[in-house]
Amino acid sequence: MTHVVVVGSGASGVHFALTALERGHDVTMVDVGLERPAPVEPGASIEGMKDRLADPAAWFLGEDGRNVVYPATKASYYGFPPSKEYVFKTPGAFRSRAEQMVPVFSFAQGGLAEAWTGGAYAFGPTDLAEFPFGYDDIAPYYAQVAERIGVGAEPDDLAQFIPCDAPYLPPLPFDPHSAHLVARYQRVRPALQQDLGFFLGRSRVATLSRGHRGRQGCGQLGRCFWGCPNESLYTPSYTLRELRQHPRFTYKPGLLATHLEQDAGARITAVVARPVDGGDPVRVQGEAFALAAGALPSSALVLATHHAHSGEVASLEGLMDNRQVHVPFLTPAMMGKEVRTASYQFHLLAFGLTERDPAEYVHAQITTLKAAAVHPIVQGLPLDLAGSLGIFRALRTGLALANVNFHDRRRAESRVTIVPRPDGPAELRISYVDDPQEEALVARTLGRVKKALGRLGCVVPPGMTRVLPKGTSVHYSGTLPMTRSDGGRFSCTPEGRLRGWSNLYVADGAGFSFLPAKNLTFTLMANASRIATALA
Amino acid sequence: MPESPAVLARESAVFTRYLAGVSTTPYVTQAYARCHPTMPALAKGVPDRFDRFLVRVATAGGPFTRIADAYARRVRPTGLLRQKLVLMCAVLESSPPAHDYLNTAAAGSVAATVVRIGLAGVTSVLATLAGVLLLGPAHLALRGKGVAA
Ligand SMILES: Cc1cc2nc3c(=O)[nH]c(=O)nc-3n(C[C@H](O)[C@H](O)[C@H](O)COP(=O)(O)OP(=O)(O)OC[C@H]3O[C@@H](n4cnc5c(N)ncnc54)[C@H](O)[C@@H]3O)c2cc1C
Ligand code: SF4
């Protein structure tokens, strides 16, 4: 059996590690590993918390108000609350610079998916056409991960685009607005499908509708965005907790990996890491190594390893990220209804739009407004704040957002490289160049989205649709792609091993060969598990 | 220069009434005051005279708050007054006594909702017009004036 060292405890790292352990290997995980704060008032609903906490404003807005979203400031587009700040903190020694992209990094236990919204979509055969393996090869791993994390789904009109054959749990109940949209869809379904290629169904979500593997079913507390206290919404730190109970697992948090050491025969011998609290670099030795630091940091580690050994600064092509467009809309029939803030907050519906090229399938999730931070919304309305609040309260139960995702392909112009630094880890340089074809696809699609929403009885207010900058979807991938034939030292075999090294595996999105419009994390987890089974 | 506790208490009272129609509380005032140092309009230096003038008008209360806010939304959408009001909205939606009000809908039929929206819109337009008439001249007079009190 092999001693395998994994870098990173995100969605990719924990499922790679769990499968490696299950197959009898010893696993050491090197991680920066910032910790999540303990949940407060676990049984309280979102509004209940505001009554129960001694200092609720500090909990929601930060002790000094730093999480208030002010008009036109450069606040994060998500406006994350203090309880999620640990997810996005970066260690001082980590440096990056990006052009035409706004990348987000996580150095938390569990990584970025500690803040995700749980959308868990299997890639279908078309999505995998450019990967060096097919749906049948990865399907058992979707099933395995679905069982581990608990995904709610049921066959519907989207099943032809999003395979639905894993052991899924019953889905969460619809909120009244989502139920209304589904009822409308049933009435106009044939026309929507034929005229517009529009298909509506449930979003597949990693949130438990009932208790599963020691975690509770969703208690409809409405705190999802602030962090689910019931552990109903899956995050990878739960799998990390499971790993840490395993006798053959060693967790080494507090370490920022800078590069890997190799011998003369292109065999990696150790991960070199700096303690984030200071001190001398440490070496973590092993027999096989897996990179799961997130596609961008993993790319930096490969480039720094190559530089340490050859003195050459290389670059990696093919960086991908989904374009996301936010389309807010109003369902007039739902206006003036009772607000239920104590209800599941994230998307319960998804829709797909077919394109002539099936690989260009467009995927979107619909989030109806339930619990929400009000001040970031009302400040954007074109009236005084009291008037805006009045209008917001009148419209509130009719408001929703479609988050529309577009595919991306590996292109040579979008790349990452490093700038070595004598006094610390190399700086990561990211340069993303927009696909010139994308604008036309986005414009065409948005026209169809508006028409489809119109037929569902919804109104898309003019001027409020936002094409988000690249980086926002946080679906980074493609820099160390798996290829069928030899694509050079920075490409991976179908089993995820980097061809330039005999024992180095890429377990995260860097290894993706194509990025369909569907959110990728479920596939990250399934693929990481698939790669772990390839370890000798 | 940090704003005095008395000024912030006055703002807290007026802005809470304006946004939520209730009296402020010591907790709301304290939370509102302690968040001021991170407010971008203050963190980047002393705001200009017109920004401070708008806050003074708004703090007079009654219709002046709405008129100053409506005018600020047009001419200083990211200025000091708007930031103070957004901060107060954030505090109120997060804590008693107003979080319930800010997080419920104005319930009613679709027709009643449309009327409600229409009224809010008309009132806002009137407030903006009043702002142009009452505050426009001061705006012109203070244009380009620096930070001196
Ligand atoms: C707000 C938000 C919502 C999202 N919603 C969805 C969704 O609904 N569906 C979906 O599919 N995806 C979603 N995502 C994307 C999803 O979170 C990511 O795709 C996923 O978390 C990536 O997992 P990863 O393990 O590959 O990398 P990461 O999550 O980035 O994890 C990286 C790990 O590596 C460690 N690490 C990094 N560098 C080093 C280093 N040098 N040394 C040591 N350790 C290191 C970090 O500590 C961390 O543990 C969302 C993301 C965000 C931010
Ligand atoms: S509504 Fe959200 S926060 Fe509440 S139990 Fe369900 S998943 Fe958790």
> Model confidence over A48-84: pLDDT tens digits?
999 999 999 999 999 999 999 999 755 444 568 899 9
Angstroms from A400 CA to nearest CA on chain B: 14
Asked if A66 and B38 come within 8 Å (Cβ–Cβ), the reply is: yes
CA dihedral A507, A511, A515, A519 (to 10 degrees): 10
Ligand nearest to the CA of A14: 1
> pLDDT tens-digit profile of B36-73?
999 999 988 888 899 999 999 999 999 999 999 999 99
DSSP per position, A209-254: SS-BTTBPPP---S-GGG--TTS-B--HHHHHHHHHTSTTEEEE-S
Question: Å from B114 to nearest chain A CA?
Answer: 8
Which residue is closest to A56 within chain B, CA to CA? Answer: B95
CB A245 within 8 A of CB A259: no
Predicted pLDDT at A241: 98
Q: Residue ranges of the domains in chain A?
A: 1-34+89-116+235-321+411-434+474-536
Give residue for tokens 């008009």: A71
Phi-psi group of B92: left, alpha or beta (phi > 0 → left; psi -120 to 50 → alpha; rest → beta) = alpha
Judge: B89–A375 Cβ closer than 8 Å, yes or no. Answer: yes
Q: How many Å lie between the centroid of ligand 2 and the Cα of residue A104?
A: 25
Instruction: Characterize A83-93 residue by residue with b for buried, 16 or more Cβ atoms within 10 angstroms of its Cβ, and e for exposed.
Output: bbbbbbeebeb
How far, in Å, CA of B22 to CA of B16, rounded?
6
Nearest-CA distance from A175 to chain B in Å?
A: 16
* Number of Cβ within a 10 Å radius of residue B149: 6
Q: Which residues of B touch A338 (CB under 8 A)?
A: 104-105, 107
Contact A9, A111 (CB under 8 A): yes
- The dihedral sign for the CA sequence A27, A31, A35, A36: negative
**Tens place of pLDDT for every residue, chain A, 536 residues?**
899 999 999 999 999 999 999 999 999 999 999 999 999 999 999 999 999 999 999 999 999 999 999 997 554 445 688 999 999 999 999 999 999 999 999 999 999 999 999 999 999 999 999 999 999 999 999 999 999 999 999 999 999 999 999 999 999 999 999 999 999 999 999 999 999 999 999 999 999 999 999 999 999 999 999 999 999 999 999 999 999 999 999 999 999 999 999 999 999 999 999 999 999 999 999 999 999 999 999 999 999 999 999 999 999 999 999 999 999 999 999 998 888 899 999 999 999 999 989 999 999 999 999 999 999 999 999 999 999 999 999 999 999 999 999 999 999 999 999 999 988 899 999 999 999 999 999 999 999 999 999 999 999 999 999 999 999 999 999 999 999 999 999 999 999 999 999 999 999 999 999 999 999 999 999 999 999 999 97
Neighbours of B33 (CB within 10 A): 20
Strand partners, A200: A351
Determine the Cα–Cα distance for residues B21 and B116; give it in Å rounded to an integer: 17
Among A69, A385, A458, the residue to mutate for chain B (most B Cβ within 10 A): A385
Q: Is A75 on the interface with B (CB under 8 A)?
A: no
CA dihedral A342, A347, A349, A351 (to 10 degrees): 160
The partner residues of A452 in beta bridges, in order of sequence, read: none
Instruction: Name which of B37, B2, B139, B117 is nearest A393 in CA terms.
Output: B117
Taking each helix axis as running N to C, give the angle between helix A385-395 and helix B110-142, from 0 to 180 degrees, rounded to the nearest 10: 160
Biggest CA pair distance of chain B: 52
Mutational pocket test of ligand 2: of A47, A345, A368, the residue with most ligand atoms within 8 Å of the beta carbon: A345
Q: For a substitution probing ligand 2, which of A151, A223, A225, A347 has the most ligand atoms within 8 Å of its CB? A: A223
The CATH homologous superfamily of the domain defined by A1-34+89-116+235-321+411-434+474-536: FAD/NAD(P)-binding domain (3.50.50.60)
Phi, psi of B31 (to 5 degrees): -65, -40
Cα–Cα distances (Å) from B126 to A190, A319, A383, B66, B71, in that order, read 47, 52, 11, 10, 10
Extended beta strands in A169-322, E state: 198-202, 249-252, 255-262, 268-275, 282-285, 288-291, 315-317
Across the interface, do B70 and A383 touch by the CB < 8 Å criterion?
yes
Under DSSP, is residue A326 helix (H, G, I), strand (E, B) or coil? Answer: strand
Give the number of other CB atoms < 10 A from CB of residue B108. 15
Angle separating helix axes B110-142 and B63-75, nearest 10 degrees: 70
Tell me how far the alpha carbon of residue A320 lies from the centroid of ligand 1, in angstroms: 15
3-class SS shares of chain B: helix, strand, coil, % to 5: 70, 0, 30
Dist. CA A285–CA A313, nearest whole Å: 25
Residue with CA at minimum distance from ligand 1 atom 35: A8
Please give the helix or strand (H or E) that residue A353 lies within, else none.
strand A349-353
**Is A54 at the interface with chain B, CB within 8 A?**
no
Distance between Cα A453 and ligand 2 center (Å):
27
β-sheet with A424-431: strand ranges across:
A96-99, A424-431, A415-421, A315-317
- Residue B149's pLDDT band (boundaries 50, 70, 90)? very low
Report which DSSP code applies to A456.
T
Question: Closest Cα to residue A118, out of A235, A241, A292, A240?
Answer: A235
How far apart are the C-alpha atoms of A93 and B100, rounded to whole Å? 44
Write the CA distances from A314 to A310, A453, A481, A512, integer angstroms.
10, 47, 16, 20
